[in-house]
Structure 1
Amino acid sequence: MPKKGNRKRLKFRSGDICSESVTVADFANADPAVVKSGRVKKAVANAVEKEVKLLCGLEASQGSLQEVFSSVSSLTGDALESSDDLDPGEDGVNEPKEARKKKNKRRKECSECSDGEDYTVDIWLVLASYIRPEDVCTFALICRNAWTVTCTAAFWTRLYKRHYSLDAYLPFRLQPDSIARKRCLRARVIRSLFHLYEPFSSRVSLSPALPESPHTTLLNSKCLLFWVNKVVGTRPEPMWEFNFKFVKPAMRCKAGSATRGLLLPRQYEEVHANPDSDCYLLQVTTLNFIFTSIVMGMTLSLFNINVNADMRHHRVCLVFQDAPLQQGRRKGEQGGTQVVLDPVHSVRLMDWWHPQYPSSPYT
């Protein structure tokens, strides 16, 4: 039986740790050779906590990370110590010699490949309280457990509560009572952030009325809905909004290729449900009412914005096909239904998270 006292450990000096030399990434991928038992030193936990609070400006909860680190690390240390008590010769006594050699070789390869500690989801859930909304994607790419945290309902609920304020204007569907529902929770929180979070709301306010170049995003998209609204403003004559709701075509995988993306945990599928995830809304405002053809269920093959004949306003041309445009054929080779809107006051293409995007019954 190997003795525990014979294990060599590197000496740890608290003076070597400071908020500048320790980062969250270094702590997540800590080298087990530094402390073989897996225990996190108090100075390391305090340094990480101090760095996180300095980076985030104490926006999130003021809870200490020391208790979480110490509890999880103690469990890891106990597991490692219990594994050291096992005699290597006792494992596989009745196995053939070649099988034992292969097993020992695999263990050696695994020990060489493991260059970090695998911490539980609880630690990443605590760290998620300090993540800004625009850094959620970066946080989810750290490791699998960090990604799992971003799938939970607790993560999105806390993110909403951190930025919610009573004096902020929110639609009824984005009020705290609606956030309590689990279905489509992620979509509702993201839409709420475009009302509550200033960096997100500024993106919407800075978008131009007329895009600089035609949108190729809508090509081969299917028109689901089409409706017209009358807009009464400062002008003596009303304007008209022509709304086209499109859905992007489904991605086709090549024959023999398999997607290896991460699958959502089954218990969090309702949290990430979003019926409008692949939808866009094209809103064209015209100065006059224009009679158009019915294009619902048709596929958009051409979208152009140019100056009209009098050189005073813009003109929008939409061409729809009964079926998606075939590859290898030019757009002009196939006929279709043409919709011309002239004169045009503004053109806007809105994603599902846009504040003015029409909501569905669930979102």
Structure 2
Amino acid sequence: MPRRGNRKRLKYRANDLSSHRVTVADFANSDPAVVKSGRVKKAVANAVQKEVKALCGLEASRVPSEDGLSVLSENGHYGSSEELEDIENGNGTSSKKKKSRKQRESSITDYAGEDFPLDIWLVLASYIRPEDVVTFALICKKAWTITCTAVFWMRLYKRHYQTNAYLPVRLLPECMYRLRALRACVIRSLFHMYEPFCSRLAKNPSLPESTPNTLLNSKCLLFWCKKVEPGIRPEPLWEFNFKLKKLPPKQKNLCLIGLQPPLEYKEVHFNPDQDCCLLQVTTLNFIFIPVVMGMTLTYFTINVSTDMRHHRVRLIFQDCPVLNGKKPRGEQGVQIVLDPVHSVHLLDWWHPKYPFSTMA
């Protein structure tokens, strides 16, 4: 017995169908409640197509059925092109089987997307804020390639250049046309002229709390000491500078691993101070310090001085780095104790007070 609720479907025949029997419900402007699929039924489409061929004569019958259906699919009235492939022939037999839903979804997911030329990405880069450069470079490889060009960094410099800003000689407009280290110079200039970057430096502490951990196993590239004349204090201060080369971060963005700037823009990305920082320790009096250039910083602490009014800095340098969280032994390396300490500052390579070579 047939199941309850099943209704017998109406069969449309080409011989019984005439032009006045084609209703609005058979087309795209019909009520979605009446036609849920949003397209005309296969049997109706075949019958209408046969009747049109009969009315137009022999010339219309020579036109393949796929050409007429492709026009309908472009207008979007009868669904996608994959569904139109399943429309039956005049004899009522199906030409191809319907693709499964999973196959249709996989074909959509396998779509590679549009491939825009570099000129479009260069135009979009003209509207990118300096703090969004990394996000823009992670969109795709072509967007990253644009951030490697000299045109991108020169436009970024000219867009935020201010005539009243104080800049070092290397960062002036007449010196920015040198391609060597152009990217590093533009980044340094933004910390002089771009207000969000300047305010960020003012808000950040002179010595972050994570400094002792981030400077471990850093190599000392350069060391010097100079006398600083204070404004209020009668006696001068002594400033000890340690130029350290930090280890590269353990976790990098997967989208940028293995990507190297093009060879023609290698000079643009040249930066001898990459991953470098300057540790400035200002003391109240001069303290003799042995030579530690070329050694590795394995221990760094800041404590309260014995007079309870200043700080005390302790540094230990060794010939090789200490790994696996082991504590270094003072007798194995060179220990430096600075006490009393007036102030401690950590300057990254882009900081305005970071000393860099004008020949870069």
Question: Once the two structures are superposed, what CA deviation does each residue of 1:209-261 show, in whole Å capped at 9, x if it has no partner?
Answer: 454454211111111110011111221111111000011246899xxxxx952
* 1: CA distance, partners of 2:238 / 2:131: 35
Q: Are 1:319 and 2:322 matched, yes or no?
A: no
* 1: CA distance, partners of 2:207 / 2:334: 24
Change over 3 Å in CA distance of 1:264–1:289 after alignment to 2: same
Instruction: Tell me the TM-score normalized by structure 1.
Output: 0.67
Alignment of structure 1 residues 106-145 onto 2, 5 Å = 113-145=110-142
Give 1:117 deviation, angstroms: 0.8
Alignment of structure 1 residues 83-102 onto 2, 5 Å = none
Alignment of structure 1 residues 1-363 onto 2, 5 Å = 6=70, 8-9=73-74, 113-212=110-209, 214-234=211-231, 235-249=233-247, 260-327=257-324, 329-332=326-329, 335-363=332-360
Question: Once the two structures are superposed, what CA deviation does each residue of 1:163-189 show, in whole Å capped at 9, x if it has no partner?
Answer: 001111111110011210111110000
Question: Once the two structures are superposed, what CA deviation does each residue of 1:271-319 show, in whole Å capped at 9, x if it has no partner?
Answer: 1111110211101111111111111111101000010111110011000
Give 1:328 deviation, angstroms: 6.1
* 1: CA distance, partners of 2:279 / 2:152: 32
* 1: CA distance, partners of 2:202 / 2:119: 38
Give 1:361 deviation, angstroms: 4.2
Percent sequence identity over aligned pairs: 61
Do the aligned partners of 1:241 and 1:286 also contact (CA within 8 Å) in 2?
yes
Give 1:6 deviation, angstroms: 3.6
* 2: CA distance, partners of 1:199 / 1:241: 29
Aligned length: 265
Give 1:139 deviation, angstroms: 0.8
Moved more, 122-131 or 259-268: 259-268
Change over 3 Å in CA distance of 1:128–1:211 after alignment to 2: closer
Do the aligned partners of 1:184 and 1:362 also contact (CA within 8 Å) in 2?
no
User: Which letter maps to 1:220?
Assistant: N
Change over 3 Å in CA distance of 1:3–1:350 after alignment to 2: farther
* 1: CA distance, partners of 2:206 / 2:288: 23
Gaps of 5+ in 2: 1-63, 81-105
* 1: CA distance, partners of 2:245 / 2:235: 33
The DSSP-based 3-state class of the residue aligned with 1:195 is: helix
Which protein is bigger by CA-based radius of gyration? 2
Change over 3 Å in CA distance of 1:129–1:311 after alignment to 2: same
Residue in structure 2 matched with residue 91 of structure 1 by the alignment: none
Do the aligned partners of 2:296 and 2:318 also contact (CA within 8 Å) in 1?
yes
User: Which letter maps to 1:275?
Assistant: P
The DSSP-based 3-state class of the residue aligned with 1:315 is: strand
* 1: CA distance, partners of 2:345 / 2:173: 29
* 2: CA distance, partners of 1:221 / 1:4: 73
The DSSP-based 3-state class of the residue aligned with 1:215 is: helix
User: Which letter maps to 2:262?
Assistant: P
Do the aligned partners of 2:207 and 2:346 also contact (CA within 8 Å) in 1?
no
The DSSP-based 3-state class of the residue aligned with 2:212 is: coil
Do the aligned partners of 2:206 and 2:346 also contact (CA within 8 Å) in 1?
no
Give 1:3 deviation, angstroms: 6.6
Change over 3 Å in CA distance of 1:269–1:111 after alignment to 2: farther
Gaps of 5+ in 1: 12-32, 34-108, 254-258
Question: Once the two structures are superposed, what CA deviation does each residue of 1:14-52 show, in whole Å capped at 9, x if it has no partner?
Answer: xxxxxxxxxxxxxxxxxxx9xxxxxxxxxxxxxxxxxxx
Change over 3 Å in CA distance of 1:333–1:175 after alignment to 2: closer
Change over 3 Å in CA distance of 1:110–1:222 after alignment to 2: farther
Do the aligned partners of 2:215 and 2:246 also contact (CA within 8 Å) in 1?
yes
Instruction: Tell me the TM-score normalized by structure 2.
Output: 0.67
Do the aligned partners of 1:214 and 1:305 also contact (CA within 8 Å) in 2?
no
Runs of at least 4 residues off by over 6 Å: 1-5, 250-253
